[in-house]
Chain A
């Protein structure tokens, strides 16, 4: 029995409404407990900030498109692959890091859980193999549904029950976690060389609209009572003037009620909102509409969002939004990789440089931060960079620095070549709000845990929680005047205890921890029609046999299965 006592730190735990109280956190084995014996190992956290392990709701860290990024960007590793250290494996790459670097960097920042944001169902075995290869962090993956032929056909006819039976089967078959939507209908339309840029653009052949797909999957999700809500990457991503489409799709959540046993209150998670809050009608008059979008998000309590902050790095964009990547390639003329995943989805990958000297990139940077600063509810607003699309995940500490310090924002703004034009097109310059550590903990811990339906395990330091505890080199009572110190503190935790094991000490990895894969087993009554549909489509349309489709148990060797009993 291993016992650890994290002593005398400034504890910040929004789930328990604790803000900077000096307290001890006791750990026995892999759980947080009320108290431990005098023989416990003591970690002195005096004068330091203690938080629960963080959760990332949205990152692309495993699977075929991530691997395509690695394969087609050897230059991403050039001079950026330090040697192996005695305790750990070699870490490679920058914007598309190796699995080991991914696990290590998340652990160094005190992250306990990371959601792989888009799993192509057909390639789910690959996703799970990579997840298994990523050390320390717990992970889950969201299979993509919004361009899936079964779903399109059921929702066209309004058959929520059938849609639910299929979704439950697919989540189980792929060992997935929830329902991801990427450019609803648009990726399928791209098979005809088209896209769905508005909510009433019908998908060719299927004759169903993005609005119907979103609403249908939202109803499906609540019918099943899954731990997470639908997780949506909206239509018209990255286009000037797309904020109206964004508002239209957010409005679809109006009047919907979350039905689940996991404490989740939202019915829609709208991801990387930065890419969807654009005004203007061309790149010339491109401007921020973060305020309009956040005004709506603030009043509509049943939606959650994540930021998708641009970090001004050279990165690799990758998404199941195939038409968008093609569009992006036509803008920057760099490399483009692309794939079609049979009946299910597609994907594209293009390198991208967010250059501080390009006006549009500066505005994008501002929009991401504005969303975080305009929020009135940090429990519904989460920090992401849509890794690696707007920037690599290991820049979260930099995003936190910008959110917590106006001085840091102004300093970055000063370095822009088109500073004045960026200021004209955004509101960032006038915002004096500086988020507190408590708010940051809501955005990275309590908030995402609740939205993922995992508030009983993660995101808090209450007894009974998983023992994920991070200690940061920050003095709560005397926060540094130099914002760089905030970034440094969050970049490398002094201590990180994951599932009761010390995995980071002084910012260095000390153990490969006990990694788990979370997946959801939604038990629905057998639906003969859906069973028959699945069999028929596999015979007629798929290139693989149905028996070879599901993810085998050995591919997810450390499972943590969340059972959901669906009341018919």
Chain B
């Protein structure tokens, strides 16, 4: 795997939109060509080279290309936008839309990410060592086709609206989350290892949620049916099994209605 390093040397006055920081855009290009790729600050079109020193070598295909960002990207949006393969490592924080509409490959952010991390993701992996803000793995505004595949793991906490309209894939939040988890979801799995304040699984049709901490306020549309023991992300836990959202429509399979499942650590 060939590695390209980007070293940020200038902080943009506004936020920088870098839909071109992807193995797909970099592959097959020399560092000078990569430096010519378009980035945007507001409505101004600029070059990648105006903000980053570009070094190293890109692979022939996205799969053979790794991008190392050696520095903070707190003001950089859209890292890994629509990427299909390869790897990106951000050594520091990143702003919004990390891995948005991503189809494959890996993104590792060692710091925190802002909102919309993994929005409408279809495949691949995102790992964030720090915390995430809102809308992890959610759908685009208005769209009913949310995250379809892939894995997002946030080692810290996350904000609200996690996995809205989720259809597939896995989201793991290792610490706490705020409100609105899997709203309108019709598939996929969300694991929250800490506590959630509430509104978990509102209008959820299908899919699974695991909360290994506490749900402070349960929604009335979920009904407890049994206690189970399950392995969740490598650990065995005793869980209360709820089904819901009983206020929402549910598809039928072999004459039986399919509900969404919410598992909360048994007390």
Contact = CB atoms under 8 A, between A and B. Distances in A.
Interface of A: 72-76, 78, 333-335
Nearest to B186: A333
Interface stretch (B47-55, B136-144, B190-198, B207-215): B136-144
B217 to A, nearest CB: 27
A96 to B, nearest CB: 12
Contacts of B142: 72-76, 335
Nearest to B43: A83
A72 B144 CA distance: 12
B249 interface: yes
Contacts of A75: 140-143
A481 B228 CA distance: 66
Interface string B124-167: 00000000000000001111100000000000000000000000
A334 B205 CA distance: 13
Nearest to A71: B142
Contacts of A72: 142
A327 to B, nearest CB: 15
Contacts of A78: 140, 143
Nearest to A332: B144
A53 B230 CA distance: 69
B249 A333 contact: yes
Nearest to A79: B101
A89 to B, nearest CB: 15
B141 A334 contact: no
Nearest to A73: B142
A74 B143 CA distance: 8
Contacts of A334: 144
Among B140, B141, B142, B144, residue most surrounded by chain A Cβ atoms (within 10 Å): B142
A72 B141 CA distance: 9
Contacts of B144: 334-335
The listed residue with most B CB atoms (<10 A of its CB), out of A72, A73, A75, A334, is A75
Given A73-B142, A74-B143, A75-B142, 10 more contacts: A74-B141, A74-B142, A75-B141, A75-B143, A76-B142, A78-B140, A78-B143, A333-B249, A334-B144, A335-B144
B140 A74 contact: yes
A333 B144 CA distance: 10
Contacts of A73: 142
A186 to B, nearest CB: 25
A68 to B, nearest CB: 12
Interface of B: 140-144, 249
B120 to A, nearest CB: 9
A84 to B, nearest CB: 10
Contacts, number: 17
Ranked 9 nearest A-B pairs via Cβ: A75-B143, A74-B142, A75-B142, A74-B141, A75-B140, A73-B142, A78-B140, A334-B144, A333-B249
17 contacts: A72-B142, A73-B142, A74-B140, A74-B141, A74-B142, A74-B143, A75-B140, A75-B141, A75-B142, A75-B143, A76-B142, A78-B140, A78-B143, A333-B249, A334-B144, A335-B142, A335-B144
Contacts of A74: 140-143
Contacts of A333: 249
A293 B255 CA distance: 39
Nearest to A72: B142
A75 to B, nearest CB: 4
Contacts of B141: 74-75
A447 B144 CA distance: 41
Nearest to A75: B143
Nearest to B145: A75
A78 B144 CA distance: 13
A73 B141 CA distance: 8
Contacts of B143: 74-75, 78
A73 B140 CA distance: 10
Nearest to A351: B144
A209 to B, nearest CB: 34
A73 B142 CA distance: 6
A226 B144 CA distance: 45
A335 B142 CA distance: 9
A93 to B, nearest CB: 12
A76 B143 CA distance: 9
A168 B141 CA distance: 43
B259 to A, nearest CB: 16
A334 B249 CA distance: 12
The residue among A72, A73, A76, A333 with the most chain B CB atoms within 10 A of its own CB is A333
Nearest to A333: B249
Nearest to A83: B43
B121 to A, nearest CB: 15
B189 to A, nearest CB: 22
A335 B141 CA distance: 12
A335 B165 CA distance: 12
B78 to A, nearest CB: 13
A400 B141 CA distance: 35
A78 B140 CA distance: 9
A442 B160 CA distance: 57
Contacts of A335: 142, 144
A203 B143 CA distance: 37
Nearest to A78: B140
A39 B142 CA distance: 55
A334 B184 CA distance: 11
A337 B140 CA distance: 19
B101 to A, nearest CB: 9
Nearest to A335: B144
A79 B140 CA distance: 11
B19 to A, nearest CB: 11
A498 to B, nearest CB: 31
Contacts of B140: 74-75, 78
A256 B140 CA distance: 53
A75 B140 CA distance: 7
A333 B184 CA distance: 11
A334 B143 CA distance: 9
A335 B249 CA distance: 14
Contacts of A76: 142
B39 to A, nearest CB: 15
A78 B249 CA distance: 28
Nearest to B143: A75
A74 B140 CA distance: 8
A140 B143 CA distance: 33
B84 to A, nearest CB: 16
A79 to B, nearest CB: 9
A73 B144 CA distance: 10
B83 to A, nearest CB: 15
A72 B140 CA distance: 12
A333 B140 CA distance: 18
A195 B142 CA distance: 30
A76 B249 CA distance: 25
Nearest to A77: B142
B145 to A, nearest CB: 8
A361 to B, nearest CB: 18
A83 to B, nearest CB: 9
A78 to B, nearest CB: 6
A439 B140 CA distance: 44
B8 to A, nearest CB: 26
A81 to B, nearest CB: 13
A295 to B, nearest CB: 41
B206 to A, nearest CB: 12
A353 B249 CA distance: 20
B200 to A, nearest CB: 21
